[in-house]
Amino acid sequence: MRLGRLAVALAALLALAGCGGESGTAEPVATTEVSMAKSYRFDPETIEVAAGATVTWTNDDNFTHTVRVEGQEDHEVERGSSVSIGFGDPGTYEYVCTLHSKDMRGTVIVR
């Protein structure tokens, strides 16, 4: 009985972990293009680029968003517009939309 319950709990945990790609911490995607997708999302949330790459964020949502990489200035991106930011040095850069910082966060991993 107890073991059965444990197995069910474990299965539920594994199922939750399996859903990680759709929301929350995602596996890095090798791309320099990030969409500000409907609604209030960066897609993909975590990207991986080569040192010296320029990353472009395009606002495909119906609301104005921003991109602010930690330690850098804030870039406002109106719907239909985009912003490009260069990443020279390897490292992990967290960024946020300062208008919706609770929902819209992402990461650029520079190799």
Binding to Cu ion in span 38-97, by CB under 5 A: 65, 97
Q: In what order do the strands lie in the sheet with 82-87?
A: 41-43, 33-37, 53-59, 82-87
Minimum CB–partner distance for residue 31 and Cu ion (Å) = 20
Q: Select 68 or 100, whichever has its Cβ closest to Cu ion.
A: 100
CB of 18 to Cu ion, least distance (A): 28
Q: By CB under 5 A, is residue 100 in contact with Cu ion?
A: yes
Q: In angstroms, rounded to a whole number, what is the distance separating the alpha carbons of residues 83 and 33?
A: 10
User: Of the candidates 26, 69, 99, 109, which one interacts with Cu ion according to CB under 5 A?
Assistant: 99
Return all residues near 107 (Cβ < 8 A) that are at least 6 apart.
28, 45, 46, 47, 92, 93, 94, 95
Least spacing, CB of residue 97 vs Cu ion, in Å: 3
What residues make contact with Cu ion under the rule CB under 5 A? 65, 97, 99-100, 104
